Each structure stands twice: as C-alpha cells, then as structure tokens.
Structure 1
Amino acid sequence: MRHTEFWERMTEALRDEAYARYWASSTVMGSLEGRTVQEALAAGESPKTVWRAVHDVLDLPARDR
C-alpha cells in the first residue's frame, strides 16, 4: 500500500480529509507502540501496517481491510 492509498482510505473511513489528518496526528495507539499514525508513518512504519492498526481501532468492516 502506498501513502496516497492510505490517506484515501483514512479520508473515506472518517468521511473528511481534514478530520482524518487531525485524527492521525492526535490519536495515540498502543498497537503502534504508543505513537500516532503520523508518528508511525514518519518513523518508517509501512502504510499497510498502520492501516491495519487504524482498521482495528475504528472497528471498520472486514471488506475495508
């Protein structure tokens, strides 16, 4: 998964691009070692791994995995 696809999925899941970016910068997740989405991506974590963590936290449907 590329970063562009990741952000498209985030926007779709949260229904607003600005909110998706805010959520990604403010929500700390244990599954990302206590980092936010933004911090995990900046540290080099793969977008696919981060998406899986987001998917679980937001309890999205399996089809969105």
Structure 2
Amino acid sequence: MRRSEFDRAVTDEFGNRGNAVVTDLVLGRFGDRTPAQALAAGIPPREVWLALCVEMDVPPERRYGAGRLEPKPR
C-alpha cells in the first residue's frame, strides 16, 4: 500500500473525520503514536492502515484493498 492509497482508504472509510482520526487517534501498537506520527517514523502505510482498522473496528471485509486505484482500461 502506498501513502496515497492509505490516504484514499482513510477518506473512503472515515469521510470528513479522516484527518482527525489520522492526527488524533493514538495507536498503542506503534508506541502510542498517532497514525500520522507512525507514518512519519517510517512505519509502512499498510501496517498503519491495518492497526487503524483494528482500533476503529472497521469490518474485515473493508480492510483489504481499500484505497487502491481502479485498474486502467486496456
């Protein structure tokens, strides 16, 4: 997952609250860092996304593949 895909997944899942979730929610899994701090520390976006999903009780069916771009037409 790229950072742009992470951003898209957050927006798709949390809408207008997405920015607040990324900057305010503390994730114990990453040493009590927010998702924004975890990303800045070099933790891969996919790991941050999955930890965020667990913390926010995002259903498993919405955790994988979120934020991916639609395939380009051939």
- Whose helix proportion is higher, 1 or 2? 1
RMSD: 1.0
Q: Tell me, which stretches of 5 or more residues in structure 2 are unaligned? A: 64-74
The number of aligned residues is 63
1:63 maps to amino acid: E
Higher relative contact order (CA closer than 8 Å, sequence separation 6+) = 2
Q: TM-score, normalised by structure 1?
A: 0.88
Q: Hey, which of these two has a bigger chunk of strand by percent?
A: 1
Q: Give the number of the structure whose alpha-carbon radius of gyration is greater.
A: 2
Uncovered stretches (5+) of structure 1, i.e. residues with no partner: none
Moved over 4 A (4+): none
